[in-house]
């Protein structure tokens, strides 16, 4: 009862609008299988009431996995009996605040593992719908695509047939607060929002995009991240792209 939760990078990320409190985007997500968290269900020594999550690094009380459990319990209340006897163990390798989607991937892997182990027979589409309530990146991980074009607030996901580019990740010792980066973008850069931005990039392989685009051109959040975390520039070499809201930089190899 174990499942890997892989990381992701954004080859490009353009903000195309604002919908209430959410930012609409157009982006290419690429799964990174070489970096992953591991989630497992393990028998408790003795049954206990309530949901138990054991992690090798500190997690906030309200985290993506506990939220996934809460939402899945509404769909399948019978899972409570399983989790009286089983604890969730999470081994973290994906750094937080790095733009790699670790928390979202953990939630997606939890949903899939529950679905399999508890024989819930929930469709992938319904798991993605549940995942969307947790975070915008979760549906991408639920579908498990190697590469996909993602639009809207993360709910429009179209698989992109390509061989994923080989990249090297560089994660500096900087924790980028996603909410703060998006807020800074809205306050300082929202006048540059273009609803049609990057439409032509949707059909271009990721390898080609990385060869033709400048990093700050590729990611609308890059200038916002630099405004809050100017020290990022100390780690960025020529040709390094920023994933999501940062802080991970990646380059083609």
Q: Kindly state the tokens that stand for 3.
A: 């499942």
State residue 206 phi and psi, 5-degree precision. -60, -40
Specify whether 8 is catalytic: yes
Q: Kindly state the tokens that stand for 102.
A: 């670790």
Classified by CATH at the fold level, domain 2-159 comes out as: Ribosomal Protein S5; domain 2 (3.30.230)
For the chain, report the end-to-end CA distance as a whole number of angstroms: 34
Nearest Cα neighbor of 31 from 162, 182, 215 is 162
Specify whether 183 is catalytic: no
Tell me the pairing of strands 86-91 and 53-55.
parallel
What is residue 148's three-state secondary structure?
strand
What is residue 40's three-state secondary structure?
strand
pLDDT (tens, 9 = 90+) of the chain, 253 residues, equals 899 999 999 999 999 999 988 899 999 999 999 999 999 999 998 988 889 999 999 999 899 999 999 999 999 999 999 999 999 999 999 999 999 999 999 999 999 999 999 999 999 999 999 999 999 999 999 999 999 999 999 999 999 999 999 999 999 999 999 999 999 999 999 999 999 999 999 999 999 999 999 999 999 999 999 999 999 999 999 999 999 999 999 999 9
Q: Kindly state the tokens that stand for 149.
A: 């074009």
Superfamily assignment of 167-252 in CATH? GHMP kinase, C-terminal domain (3.30.70.890)
Please give the C-alpha separations between residue 195 and each of 81, 117, 129, 191, 192, in angstroms, as whole numbers.
47, 42, 24, 12, 10
Q: Which listed residue (8, 37, 106, 220) is catalytic?
A: 8
* Domain locations along the chain: 2-159, 167-252
Total length of the chain: 253
Q: Are 14 and 197 in contact (CB under 8 A)?
A: yes
Q: Kindly state the tokens that stand for 251.
A: 């380059």
How far is the C-alpha of 224 from the C-alpha of 113, rounded, in Å?
36
- The reply to whether 167-252 shares the fold of 2-159 is no
Q: Which listed residue (37, 106, 137, 220) is catalytic?
A: 137
């Amino acid at each position: 009862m174990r499942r890997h939760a892989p990381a992701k990078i954004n080859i490009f990320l353009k903000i195309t609008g604002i919908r209430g409190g959410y930012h609409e985007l157009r982006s290419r997500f690429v799964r990174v299988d070489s970096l992953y968290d591991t989630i497992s269900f393990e028998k408790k020594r003795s049954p206990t009431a309530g949901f138990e999550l054991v992690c090798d690094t500190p997690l906030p009380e309200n985290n993506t996995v506990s939220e996934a459990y809460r939402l899945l319990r509404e769909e399948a209340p019978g899972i409570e009996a399983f989790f009286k006897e089983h604890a969730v163990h999470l081994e973290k390798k994906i750094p937080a605040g790095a733009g790699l989607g670790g928390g979202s991937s953990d939630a997606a892997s939890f949903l899939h593992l529950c679905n399999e182990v508890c024989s819930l027979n929930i469709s992938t589409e319904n798991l993605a719908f549940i995942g969307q309530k947790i975070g915008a990146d979760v549906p991408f991980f639920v579908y498990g695509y190697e590469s996909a074009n993602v639009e809207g607030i993360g709910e429009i996901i179209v698989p992109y047939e390509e061989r994923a580019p080989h990249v090297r990740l560089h994660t500096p010792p900087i924790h980028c607060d996603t909410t703060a980066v998006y807020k800074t973008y809205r306050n300082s850069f929202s006048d540059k929002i273009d609803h049609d931005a990057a439409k032509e990039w949707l059909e271009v392989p990721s390898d080609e995009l990385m060869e033709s685009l400048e990093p700050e051109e590729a990611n609308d959040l890059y200038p916002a991240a630099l405004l809050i975390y100017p020290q990022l520039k100390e780690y960025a070499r020529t040709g390094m792209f920023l994933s999501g809201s940062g802080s991970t930089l990646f380059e083609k190899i």
